[in-house]
Chain A
Amino acid sequence: DVKVTQSSRYLVKRTGEKVFLECVQDMDHENMFWYRQDPGLGLRLIYFSYDVKMKEKGDIPEGYSVSREKKERFSLILESASTNQTSMYLCASAVRQNHEQYFGPGTRLTVT
């Protein structure tokens, strides 16, 4: 079975802090994705990556950056956390040509 893990299930940070969310997949998938999930809005794509050291902006990249130094790991960085970044963050991975994404358990981030 594909396994996608995220470093924390719950996280509380203060405004202005730098926040790192880590995601690791164990199936050698080329594609990795970061979403945020908010009630009534579904999932919105923040960033994605097709390969190591490659990244593409999604629909809502403002306030976020990403890093993919190894194929299995994709990190989401909030350079200076703000209260409007309080949300559920979901990581996903996929085989390049398959399009079927496998999701991690999510990190519920609260910024106070």
Chain B
Amino acid sequence: AQTVTQSQPEMSVQEAETVTLSCTYDTSESDYYLFWYKQPPSRQMILVIRQEAYKQQNATENRFSVNFQKAAKSFSLKISDSQLGDAAMYFCAYGSSNTGKLIFGQGTTLQVKP
């Protein structure tokens, strides 16, 4: 069975600085997807970035980028030029190509200090 682990329950970053959130996963599948979702306080969960496992190039989305290390089964999220609006809980998720199901990590709460 697949598992996703986020080892940092809480992180904090100074506004305008860079922060990296860690995620590791375990799977025996070769074809899968990885996602980072953001859940602001009392607001809806939204997709931040996605990565297809077959792509070697790391995904980027404006200030958000990932470091995908397939052999190490690691998928970290880097947030550059952090803004107050980035404060949220971030979830790493593994998506099986076979089933379409997502498996989520425990979440990391990010605090952005002004």
A: residues with CB less than 8 A from B are 31, 33, 35, 40-45, 48, 50, 58, 90, 94, 96, 99-106
User: B71-114 toward A: CB 8 Å interface, digit per residue (1/0)?
Assistant: 00000000000000000000100010100111111110000000
**Are the C-beta atoms of A40 and B9 separated by less than 8 Å?**
yes
A41 to B104 alpha-carbon distance, docked (Å): 9
| Contact partners of B103 in chain A: CB under 8 A | 45
Contacting B102 at CB < 8 Å: which of A40, A41, A101, A106?
A: A101
| 11 CB-based A-B contacts, threshold 8 Å | A35-B104, A45-B101, A45-B102, A48-B100, A99-B33, A99-B97, A101-B47, A101-B102, A103-B44, A103-B45, A106-B45
**Are the C-beta atoms of B45 and A58 separated by less than 8 Å?**
no
A101 to B9 alpha-carbon distance, docked (Å): 23
A42 to B44 alpha-carbon distance, docked (Å): 15
**Are the C-beta atoms of B100 and A99 separated by less than 8 Å?**
yes
Interface size class of B (residues with CB under 8 A): 20 to 34
| Contact partners of A105 in chain B: CB under 8 A | 43-44
**Are the C-beta atoms of A43 and B104 separated by less than 8 Å?**
yes
| Contact partners of B35 in chain A: CB under 8 A | 100
**Are the C-beta atoms of B45 and A42 separated by less than 8 Å?**
no
- Given A41-B106, A99-B33, is A104 in contact with B97 using a C-beta cutoff of 8 Å? no
| Contact partners of B44 in chain A: CB under 8 A | 103-106
**Are the C-beta atoms of A103 and B46 separated by less than 8 Å?**
yes
Contacting A42 at CB < 8 Å: which of B100, B101, B106?
A: B106
